[in-house]
Amino acid sequence: MHVLLERMIAMENKTFEENLARLKEVVRLIQSGELNLDESIEVFKEGIELSKYLEEKLSSIENKAIKLFENNELKDFNGEE
């Protein structure tokens, strides 16, 4: 659980683009065959966590955009949900 918490904190401290770049690197590493089995499993876990985190971020951004454009009108939005 400790490693998961550290990864979550690291993701929060990076931009969406930085996390996406790391996810792409994770995919590359797994596909390359450079890692042994144990390393592959750990990197795979990180990839799953990154994927979930990025999906949640995109969903949040989508919901904010929907609120801004309700009824085809630009609404005031203060960034809070």
Which H helix or E strand runs over 53? helix 37-68
pTM of the model: 0.74
What pLDDT does residue 12 have? 87
What pLDDT does residue 80 have? 52
Residue 40 and residue 81 in contact, taking contact as beta carbons nearer than 8 Å: no
**In the predicted model, is pLDDT for residue 81 greater than 50?**
no
Residue 4 and residue 49 in contact, taking contact as beta carbons nearer than 8 Å: yes
**In the predicted model, is pLDDT for residue 65 greater than 50?**
yes
Residue 50 and residue 23 in contact, taking contact as beta carbons nearer than 8 Å: yes
**In the predicted model, is pLDDT for residue 70 greater than 80?**
no
Spatial CB neighbours of 80, under 8 Å, sequence gap ≥ 6: none
